[in-house]
Structure 1
Amino acid sequence: MKKNEGSDVTLTEVVMMTQDEEWVRLGKITTGTNIVDQELATCGVLYVTGEPLIRRSDDNVDALKKRLETYHKITKPLSDYYSLKGILYRIDAAKSASDVFNNIDKIFCAASAHKSYQDKMKI
């Protein structure tokens, strides 16, 4: 992977950069391992709670590469298919749990009100 500053990079490359120790060490990017800000962690301990940072056994570069390959091979084409059909709904999961639930509820209510859905549900 090229490490040229200012170059166009894909989302996959950005995710992989978070796992690149040289980029983290040089302060060009912060790690994605249970912390938002490098200053919150000291020697693998969460600053706020004092708890040790926990890393899953599959939280490594090889596993991440495999997950991203699977995403691009299987999930992305499926997402594109439903998007072209006009039936892919996007929800901002960064919002509150209540907002996310309400958005999901609206999608299901709209789908259940659709005639084709009602026809399928008749016994």
Structure 2
Amino acid sequence: MLRIYVDAATKGNPGPSAGGIVLVGDRLHEQIHVQLGECSNHEAEFKVFIKALQLVIEKDLNEQTVLIHSDSKIVVQTIEKRHAKNPIFQPYLYTFQQLESSFQLLLVKWVPESQNKGADTLARQALHKYQ
């Protein structure tokens, strides 16, 4: 099983944004930070979520059970309900649905911020680095 932890950081809302991704699996522990451009904090959470899934596919790690953790209730609820009330989030949901078909089994789980410190730290470091 591959576990993914994602989080985003934004300076301002909207403002410059960055994300942190932690991949944990058998003999794997990788920490990645990414720049996400100018966006709102919720958009940044969606962007890092999508980026993490794209990275897993690029690394050919999607043929196993994948559990992705996010502390964003908006992202997790949108994915679970398969519906985005906010039209700005609809393209992210659509992209997720396209990517989901590339996975053997993909599970999404909300975690409290206290259980997502690694990804949070990476996101904050990335935000500071890219400014």
Relative to the length of structure 1, the TM-score reads: 0.26
Higher relative contact order (CA 8 A, sep 6+): 2
**Structure with the higher strand share, 1 or 2:** 2
Identify the structure with the greater helix proportion. Answer: 1
